[in-house]
Amino acid sequence: MRFACLATALTVWILSLGAATAFEIEGERHYPAPEGAVTLRIISTADINVFEPIILEFQRQNPGVGIDYVIASSTELMRAIYEEQEPFDLAISSAMDLQTKLANDGFALAYSSFATEALPDWAKWRNQIFAFTQEPAVLVISEADFAGMEPPKTREELISLLRENPDRFAGRIGTYDVRISGAGYLFATQDSRNSDSYWRLTEVMGRLHARLYGGSGDMIRDVASGRLALAYNVVGSYAMSRLPDYPGIRIILFEDYVNVMLRTVLVPVNAPHPSEAGLMVDSLATLDSRPALTERTSLPPVKASGLQENSAARPIRLGPGLLVFLDRLKKQSFLQNWTSSMEQFVR
Amino acid sequence: MRAMLGKGSIRRRLVVQLSLIAAVLSLAFFLIVRAVAGQAASDTQDNILAASATSIADAIYSERGRISLELPYSALSMLGSISQDRVFYRVIVDGETLTGYDDLPAPAHFPKPSEPVFSTLDFRGEEVRSVAVGRTVSSGGQAIRAAIVVAQTRSGLAAITSKISATSVAVGIGLFLFATLLSLLAAQSALLPLNRMTQSIKRRGPHDLRPVRTEIPGELLPLVAALNNFMARLRAALAQSEELVAEAAHRVRTPLAVVRTQAEVALRRLDKPEDRQALREMIRAVDESSRSAGQLLDHAMVTFRTDHLQETRFDLGEVTRETCAHLQPTAGLKDIALVLDIPERPLPFVGDPILLQSALRNILDNAIKYSPADSEITVTITVDRHYEISFRDQGRGFGDVNTGGLTKRFARGGNVADVVGSGLGLTIVDVVARAHKGRVKIRTNTEGPGACVSLVLPLH
Ligand SMILES: Nc1ncnc2c1ncn2[C@@H]1O[C@H](COP(=O)(O)OP(=O)(O)O)[C@@H](O)[C@H]1O
Ligand SMILES: [Mg+2]
C-alpha cells in the first residue's frame, strides 16, 4: 500500500530501479542477527514503523535469525512472487485477494503448528494463508463539520445526509481511488457484494465531486486539516493510530455492516528458509496473546472474540470467492461502472 | 470318514467358520460403504462443479457484437464453501480464451449443451476434477460457441473419502468382533444339549445300562438311539451270562446233593475205619463244591439285585441275628461258639435285606471256615458315624497277605492254600457294601489271634 511509506521518517533506502530486481520496492531495512547466519527475507506491504516492534520481538526470541524487510505495494509484491519468483521467505500483505490468488495458483507452502491450529477458521485458508490482523473499514468524520448533528449510523443514513446537504459536502468527501489502491478495490468490491446501496452511495459521492486518494493516511490527514468533512472506507487501524495526533477527527463504525480486512502472511514455495519462516508465522499468529507488543505496533490482532463484540463485523472471507474480482473482465467492468458513477461531471 | 479324521472340536470348527463368514461380510460391508460413500462424495463435487460452470455460462452476454462475461461471485465462492480446494476456470469463446487460466486443458470436443463433460487430470502439479460446459451464444446474428471449464483440486474429497474409509474400517472391525462374539455364544448354545447328554451319561454308575432319556435335539437322535440299542444288547448279554452261571450252578448242585445223600447212606453201612474216613473226605469235598456252586449262584443273584436295587427299611440287628442263627449249626459242627454283642435297640437301615444277609453270611462263613475247632467268633455292631458290623475270629488271621486284592473275583489268599474255596465270598460282600454306599474292612486282630472282617454302612 502506498500509504505505507508516508509516515515513515526512518532510514529507509529507496532503491534505484536499476537494481537486480524488476519489481518496484518502496524501502528496505536490514536487521542483522547478533549470532547465526540465517537471514529471513520478508516482502511486506506494511509500513516499517508498524512492523519493526514485531521484528525486534522476534529477534529477541530467535537471536539466530537476521531479517531483511522489504516494503512494496501489493501489486509489486504480487509481481515479485508470482511473475519473478523472487526467493522471499515470507509475503505479508493486506491484499487478501492477491494472497488468495498466490495460494490458489500454487505459490504458497502449507504450514501447520499449534499456533496456526489455534487461529479461528475464518483466519486461515488451506494452511497456506494466515491472517494476523483484523482491520475494519471505517468512516472518518471531522467533528467540526458534524457539530450539533447526529453522525450517520448506516450507509443509507449517509446517502440521505449527503443528498440533503449537497452544499456542505460538495468537494469535501474523500474515498479510495479503487483504480490505484488494492485495499480500496477490495473494500469497494466487498461493498458491492454486501449491499445494493453501494452503487447509490458511489453515485452520490460522484455527484458531490468526491476526492480520490491512494491511501488511508492522506485521507485521515485531510479530514484532520478540515479539507474533508468525511472519508469513506478508511482502514480503521490507521485511523486509530492517528487519533492522538489529530484530536478533531472521529471514527464511525457503521451498524449495517463493517467490512473487516485481514492482513495475511504466507510462505512462498521457493522460500530458502521455510522452517524459520514458520517461526515468524507462529509469532504473528499469536500476536493476540502479547498485548505489550500489539500496543507498540498499533496492529489489531486476530481474535475470535473480536468479531462477537461487533455483530456488524464481516471479515472478508478468504477463499476462491476473492478470485472473482481479480478476473480480467470482472475487474474491467467493475472499474468501468465505478468510474462512470464517480466521474459523472468533469471536475 | 471325515468325522473320524477330524480331531478338532465341533465348537472350534463352528467358531472358526462363523468368524470367517463374519470377516468376509465385514470386508464386503467396508468395501461397499467405501465405494458408495466415495461415489456420493465425488458426485457431490461434480454437481457443484457443474453448477458453478453453468452459472458462469449463464453470465456470458454479448454487447455491441462482442462476447463478454460478468463472472458471478457465487460461481467460485460456492466451490470454496465445501472445501479449501484450489479452483481454476477458463472461458473459451470461438477457440480463444476469453478469461481465466489459459493453460487449463479444454475438452477435445465441444461439449453438448446440457451435457457437462467431467474429467480427472493433472494441472499445476495436482490432480484436479474438471467439468466442461458448452453454450451457444448469439452475437450479431451469429451463433458462437463458448466452452466453460471449471476445475477443482480433490484434497477435500480425499479427506472425506479417507474419513469415510476410517469410519467404515472401524465399523467393519466392530461388526467382525461382535459377530465373532455372537458365533462363540451360538456355538456354545448349539453344543449345550451334547454337553448335557455327556454329563448325564458320565454321572451313571458302572452297572447302569438303562437307555438315555435326556431331552436331545433331533440331530443327536440317531446317535442316542444307537447308544441305547448298544446298551440294551450289552444288558441282554450280561443277563444271559449271569443266567447261564446261575443255571449251571444250580444244575451242579442238585446232583451233588444226591451224591452226598448216597454217601451218607453208605457211611452208615460201612464199618472199616479207613473206609469211613475216605467216605467222610468225599462228603466234605462234595460239601465244598456245593458251597462253591452256591456262592456262584449267590454272586449272580447279588449282581442282578444290585443292578435293580429294591430298597426297604429294616432292622440291621435283626438281620444280623438271623444270619448268625442260620449258620449256628455249621458252627456247631466245629464246636465254635458265636458270641453276639448287638445293641438291643432297633438299628434302622434302608437297603436290600436279602443282599445284606448274603454279605453277612459270607463273612461269617469265612470266619467259621478258617477258625479252629473249639474257638469263639464275636459278632459286634457299633454305631458311631457309621454302622460297623464286625466278625472277629480266633483263626489263622491274614498273615502278610495283601488284603486289598482279596475282594477281587476268584482271589484267594496264600494263608488258606490248604483249604478249598471259590474266592467269591469277599467279592459278594464288597459288591453289596458298594451298592449300599458302604465298604468292607479286612484286617488281622490286634489283640489276640485271628481275623476281623467288618461291613461298614452309612447311617441314614
Ligand atoms: N476269617 C478269615 N481268616 C483268614 N483268612 C480269611 C478270612 N476270611 C477271608 N480270608 C482270606 O480271604 C480270601 C478270600 O476269601 P473269599 O473271597 O471268601 O474266598 P475263599 O473263602 O473261597 O477262599 C481267602 O482265600 C482267605 O485267604
Ligand atoms: Mg469264602
Determine, for residues B76 and A321 on separate chains, whether the beta-carbon distance falls below 8 Å: yes
Decide if A286 is inside a domain: yes
SS3 for B136?
strand
Which tens digits make up the pLDDT trace of B77-93?
Answer: 999 988 899 999 999 99
Task: Output the CA torsion B42→B48→B51→B53 (10° steps).
Answer: -80
Q: Does B73 touch chain A (CB under 8 A)?
A: yes
Under the banding of pLDDT at 50, 70 and 90, the label for residue A12 is very low
Nearest to B76 among A103, A320, A328 (CB): A320
Q: Using CA coordinates, name the residue in chain B closest to A318.
A: B80
Query: Do A84 and A99 share a domain, yes or no?
Result: yes
Determine, for residues A193 and B73 on separate chains, whether the beta-carbon distance falls below 8 Å: yes
Determine, for residues A328 and B99 on separate chains, whether the beta-carbon distance falls below 8 Å: yes
Determine, for residues A324 and B75 on separate chains, whether the beta-carbon distance falls below 8 Å: yes
Nearest to A320 among B72, B80, B98 (CB): B80
Minimal C-alpha gap between A347 and chain B (Å) = 30
Query: Do A244 and A150 share a domain, yes or no?
Result: yes
Decide if A279 is inside a domain: yes
In sequence order, which residues have a C-beta less than 8 Å from that of residue A198 and are 6 or more positions away? Answer: A155, A188, A191, A192
Q: Is 90 exceeded by the pLDDT of residue A23?
A: no
Q: Does A337 touch chain B (CB under 8 A)?
A: no
User: What residues of B are in contact with residue A325 (Cβ under 8 Å)?
Assistant: 73
Q: Does B158 touch chain A (CB under 8 A)?
A: no
Q: Is 80 exceeded by the pLDDT of residue A305?
A: no
What percent of chain A is predicted at pLDDT more than 90? 68
Determine, for residues A321 and B77 on separate chains, whether the beta-carbon distance falls below 8 Å: yes
pLDDT given at position B3: 41
User: What residues of A are in contact with residue B124 (Cβ under 8 Å)?
Assistant: 105-106
> What DSSP letter does each residue of B245-279 carry, written as one string?
HHHHHHHHHHHHHHHHHHHHHHHHH---HHHHHHH
Q: For all residues of chain A together, what is the average pLDDT? A: 88
Query: Do A234 and A291 share a domain, yes or no?
Result: no
User: What residues of B are in contact with residue A193 (Cβ under 8 Å)?
Assistant: 73
pLDDT given at position A310: 67
Query: Do A19 and A123 share a domain, yes or no?
Result: yes
Task: Report which of residues A241 and B6 the model is more confident about.
Answer: A241
Query: Do A53 and A123 share a domain, yes or no?
Result: yes
Q: Does B64 touch chain A (CB under 8 A)?
A: no
Determine, for residues B99 and A323 on separate chains, whether the beta-carbon distance falls below 8 Å: no
Query: Do A161 and A249 share a domain, yes or no?
Result: yes
pLDDT given at position A307: 59
Q: Using CA coordinates, name the residue in chain B closest to A194.
A: B73
Ligand 1 centroid vs B338 CA: distance in angstroms?
19
Query: Do A41 and A179 share a domain, yes or no?
Result: no
Mean pLDDT throughout A97-113? Answer: 95
Determine, for residues A105 and B124 on separate chains, whether the beta-carbon distance falls below 8 Å: yes
pLDDT given at position B333: 85
Q: Does B38 touch chain A (CB under 8 A)?
A: no
Q: Which residues line ligand 1 (CB under 6 A)?
A: B 366-367, 370, 393, 395-398, 401, 406, 412-413, 415-416, 421-427, 451, 453
Question: Sign of dihedral through CA atoms A103, A105, A108, A113?
Answer: positive
Query: Do A30 and A125 share a domain, yes or no?
Result: yes
Query: Do A35 and A155 share a domain, yes or no?
Result: no
User: What residues of A are in contact with residue B68 (Cβ under 8 Å)?
Assistant: 329, 333
Question: What CATH number is associated with residue A149?
Answer: 3.40.190.10
pLDDT given at position A308: 56
Decide if A322 is inside a domain: no
Query: Do A266 and A252 share a domain, yes or no?
Result: no
Under the banding of pLDDT at 50, 70 and 90, the label for residue A222 is very high
Q: Is 50 exceeded by the pLDDT of residue A2?
A: no
Which tens digits make up the pLDDT trace of A39-90?
Answer: 999 999 988 888 999 999 999 999 989 999 999 998 899 999 999 999 999 9
pLDDT given at position A19: 44
Task: Report which of residues A278 and A35 the model is more confident about.
Answer: A278
pLDDT given at position A4: 38
User: What residues of B are in contact with residue A103 (Cβ under 8 Å)?
Assistant: 86
pLDDT given at position A117: 93
Decide if A36 is inside a domain: yes
Decide if A285 is inside a domain: yes
Decide if A54 is inside a domain: yes
Mean pLDDT throughout A303-309? Answer: 65
Query: Do A68 and A113 share a domain, yes or no?
Result: yes
In angstroms, the CA A329 to CA B396 distance is 135
Nearest ligand to the C-alpha of residue B452? 1
Query: Do A62 and A118 share a domain, yes or no?
Result: yes
Determine, for residues A329 and B70 on separate chains, whether the beta-carbon distance falls below 8 Å: yes
In angstroms, the CA B318 to CA B323 distance is 9
Decide if A320 is inside a domain: no
Q: Which domain holds residue A188?
A: 135-260+327-343
pLDDT given at position A15: 37
**Total structural domains within chain A:** 2
Which stretches of chain B score pLDDT less than 50? 1-6
Decide if A321 is inside a domain: no
Residues 297-326 (A) with a CB less than 8 A from some CB of B: 317, 319-321, 323-325
Nearest ligand to the C-alpha of residue B399? 1
